Amino acid sequence: MPPFLIAETPRACLENHCIVVPPHLAIPEREVFNRISAAIYQPEGNDYMAVSNTVEQTETCRQGHEVLVLVGLDVKRLSDTEREKVRSKLEYYLSLFEILVTKTIDWKNEHGSLVVQRPELEIWEQDSFFHHLPRVPISSRVKAFLKKKISGND
């Protein structure tokens, strides 16, 4: 399974935090929430790397974390140079995510959804740089999820 992107913003319309995922999500939503929560406080895990910015919510003066996470990497096998390049790429895509969140997505049409699917994440994760990085094997839980999704029993 190639690495994929997930994100969270605190700027989804009226004070809402929202998870943003690619349309063909490769893991259960519960896993997405777990990864985002971990990434906010620990930008490198065993199988992910993340970057974040502290941003002001659109409708309030409160601040929150906007985070972009690349999941599926074998982080232990990355060299220091590769880690820096991954961070740099993620920072670039986080800047595009900011535009997506503030100028592209019509949050009123999302009806307060906690999880929003966006094709932009799928396009960004197609960056050839990501596909040459070491990957983690697919866990049995994710295999079961994918099998269920493919069979249409989700």
* Nearest-5° Cα angle at 136, 131 to 141: 120
Count of structural domains, the chain: 1
pLDDT for residue 145: 47
Domain of residue 101 covers: 4-151
Per-residue confidence at 139, pLDDT binned at 50, 70, 90? low
Structure tokens at 119: 């094709």
**Cα–Cα dist 122/83, whole Å:** 21
CA atoms of 139 and 16, how far apart (whole Å) = 31
| CA nearest to 86, candidates 96, 71, 104, 108 | 71
pLDDT tens-digit profile of 88-112?
Answer: 999 999 999 999 999 999 988 887 7
